[in-house]
Amino acid sequence: MKKEALAAALVGLGLTACGGGVAFNEDTILYTDPITASDPALQRHEKCHVEQMKAMGGSDKFWKKYMDDPQFRREAEIMCGVDCENDPDSHFACR
């Protein structure tokens, strides 16, 4: 399946692809790559984002703020275990 078709299918399911073989919303995490599906640290990280989405009242509100507000994005990633202080290249939100 081409990337564009996969992205359209995920949107049709109400999921947002975040790269790295993961797509999710406040109710569902879908691992689209077997390597990411077997990574416990990544699973904890994405579950943390799901909890953030629930706390904000849904994935639409979360993603809007995440994309529009660099400080929120950085804080959301730090809360989910990204070490921006010691490894600023580990995630784009750290920059």
> For 38-93, how does the pLDDT look when each residue is reduced to its tens digit (9 = 90+)?
888 888 888 898 899 889 998 889 888 988 999 999 999 999 999 999 998 888 88
1 pLDDT band, cuts 50/70/90, is: very low
Q: From the centroid of its chain, how far is CA 51? A: 11
